[in-house]
Each structure stands twice: as structure tokens, then as C-alpha cells.
Structure 1
């Protein structure tokens, strides 16, 4: 896994019109958040802080059970850190998702499932603001929201918490019969 260092730096690349993370050793990570969703501080060069590193490690731990390759987990975690630090506040767009019986009260970093009429997908909760949460798609396969609109890996959306269902990783249990 990619380990944060004190040399990592956030910066905005005007040529590519994207927020970037300089990882050193000629490696650069391009953040998936569209420019229109970035707060003004995203356009200033800043260091990858100790808080960023802590949040990154927390996201990595919480997504460890997802069936993603190691590079995809790092991509998701880095995009999630960028979203937690640089994403503009947004209004919920819950109408795409079905209300769940009981809903859930997710915490930052939780993995939840959201259901549309076209399917279900796993999302990483970036920030819970009380009754709604900023979520990032954690499935590599796109999820159709309508017949003409879909979300792709690492896209963000804010959703009311009553639309969420806690993700439960159903691992096969092997029992040994003894005696």
C-alpha cells in the first residue's frame, strides 16, 4: 500500500483543470472531483497534513473488506481524503435512491449500500452532516441513477441517511465437524 510522507503536496493543475496530489518520485495522483465542486482553498498549494494521513489510513482500514484491487483501494482512499478536505457543500439528491426500512446512522468512513430502481452499489461515507451524508461510489462498475444518468467509481453525491443501509460483507463461514 502507498504510505503517506511529509513531502506529499496538494496543488491545482490549471493545464489539466484538476486537483492533484504530488506523491514525490515523479508520481502524481489526479483527484476525480470536478473543479466546480472544489472549495477555493483547493487552488492553493498545501501540504498533505498529519490529519490527511490519519483520514487516509482510516478510509483504507474501512474499505479493506471491499473486493477491490490494492491500487483501486488507494485511489478510493485518496479521492475520499480530497473530498473530505476540498469538496464544496452540496444539497442532497436523495430522490435517485430508495428509502430503506430503518435507514442507518453512518459515521465518516463507513461503507453503506444505496439502492436505485436500476441496482444497488456500495458507497464510502465521506462526511455525515446529521440527516444526510456525502458519499463516494466505491464500486468499479457504474451505477445507473436514471435511464440517462449514472455514477462512476469515486463520484460523489449527498444523500439523506434514510436511504442508506449498512454494508455487511457476507464472508463464507467454514465449519469443521469434530467428533
Structure 2
């Protein structure tokens, strides 16, 4: 698993038209946020701060129960840190998801489940702004929002909290066998 350090650097790569994170040792991470969704500070070189490292660790802990490989978890967590720091504010687009009329009050780094007409997806909460939360798709498989629109791994959307359900860890129970005695 990646361990953050103070040599990591955020920078915008004009050639690739992407926000990048230089991890040192000739490793560079390309952030999944489209350029049009970046705040102006994303275009300035900056260090990966202690706050970034703290947020990264909380995201890593929050996604620990997801069925993802270690590299995918690191990718999700790094994209989540970038979104929490550099993503422009969004208006909610809750109409894609079923209203559950629940009482979900998600916190940063929590996993929630959202339901569409065609399925469900697990999302990582980037931030809760009261009645709505910025969420990142945490499933590797795309989620169909409509017949013509899909969300991909690490894409973000803002959704009203009444559309969310707390994530339930699915535990596979092995069949029990009994020995007859007597």
C-alpha cells in the first residue's frame, strides 16, 4: 500500500491536460477529475500536505471493507483526496437515484449505496454539505444511471442524502456440516 510522504507533489500537466500527483521514484498518478471540474488552485504546483495525508488515511480506512485490490483502493483514495481538495462545487443530481426517504447522514470516508432504475452502486462520501453529499463511485464496474448515461469508477456526483443507504458488508457464510453422533 502507498504510504504518503512530504515529497509528493500535486501539479497540472498541460501536455496530458490532467492534474497529476508526483509520488517520487519515477511514479506519477493521474487524477481522474476532468479539467473543467478543477478549482483554480489545482493549476498551481503544491505539496501533498499533512492534511492530505490525514484525509488519504481516512479514505483508506473507509474503503477497507470493499472488495477491491490494494492498487484499486489506492487509486480510489488518491482520487478522493484530489476531489476533496480540488473539485469545483457541484449542484445535486439526485434524480438519477431512488428516493429512500431514509435518515442517512453520511460522513467523509463512509461508504453508501445508491440505487438507480437498473442497479445499485457503492459510493465513497467525499464531503457532506448538509442535505447533500459529494460522492465518488467506488465500484470498478460502471453503473448505469439512464439508458444513455453511465458512471465510471472514481467519477463524482453530488446527491441528496435521502437517496443514500448505509453500506452493508456482504459476508459469505460457509455451509455448516454436522456429524451425527450416537
Q: TM exceeds 0.5?
A: yes
In structure 1, C-alpha distance between the alignment counterparts of 2:170 and 2:119, rounded to whole Å:
18
Q: Per-residue deviation at 1:148? A: 0.4
CA RMSD of aligned residues (A): 1.5
Counterparts of residues 122-133 of structure 1 (less than 5 Å): 122-133=122-133
Is residue 37 of structure 2 the alignment partner of residue 37 of structure 1? yes
In structure 1, C-alpha distance between the alignment counterparts of 2:122 and 2:102, rounded to whole Å:
18
Q: Per-residue deviation at 1:176? A: 9.9
Residue 77 of structure 1 aligns to a residue whose secondary structure is helix
Q: Is the 8 A contact 1:9 1:22 kept in 2?
A: yes
Q: Is the 8 A contact 1:121 1:143 kept in 2?
A: yes
Give the match for residue 138 of structure 1.
138
Give the match for residue 6 of structure 2.
6
Unaligned runs of at least 5 residues, structure 2: none
Residue 21 of structure 1 aligns to a residue whose secondary structure is strand
Cα shift readout 1:77-100 (whole Å, capped 9, x = no counterpart): 000000000000010000000001
Residue 169 of structure 2 aligns to a residue whose secondary structure is coil
Give the match for residue 147 of structure 1.
147
Counterparts of residues 95-134 of structure 1 (less than 5 Å): 95-134=95-134
Residue 159 of structure 2 aligns to a residue whose secondary structure is strand
Count of aligned pairs between the two proteins: 178
Larger radius of gyration: 2
Give the match for residue 25 of structure 1.
25
In structure 2, C-alpha distance between the alignment counterparts of 1:17 and 1:101, rounded to whole Å:
40
Which runs of at least 4 in structure 1 moved beyond 2 Å after TM superposition? 172-177
